[in-house]
Amino acid sequence: MGDLKKILLHALKERNKVKKNSHAEFIRKTYKEEYEKMEGKLAVWKSFQNNKLKNPTRNLVMIKKAYDHFVLVEKEVFNVEGIRSILRYAVTYNSLYSGQDRLELISGNK
């Protein structure tokens, strides 16, 4: 029984490993390179995550940093009393690739 368990664990580990030449790795690498060039620039973030809304939610954000699997964006908000807060969101490359989220640079900021 011990050998069967080792074989199954090895097969599971191999199945979950991301291959270096896979499509997911290619997408991750190209999106990371693209968003590393945009760091520190203003963009409009359109999110289509909530399909009950007819229009996508739009936010003015700053692209802060591109990580391995997501891009970090910051949004500045003010409450009723005028106190400033910063909200940070992680937009995954999978949602950008599938079209559920879009980050579009503001034209004067290229």
Q: For residue 16, give the CATH number of its domain.
A: 2.30.30.100
Question: Confidence band (pLDDT; 50, 70, 90) for 39?
Answer: very high
Cβ proximity of 84 and 90 under 8 Å: no
d(CA 29, CA 86): 28
d(CA 64, CA 54): 29
Give me the domain span that covers residue 53: 2-109
pTM beyond 0.75:
no
**pLDDT value at position 42?**
94
Percent of the chain with pLDDT over 90: 42
Q: How many domains does the chain have?
A: 1
Is 24's pLDDT higher than 70? yes
Asked whether residue 47 carries a pLDDT value surpassing 70, the answer given is yes
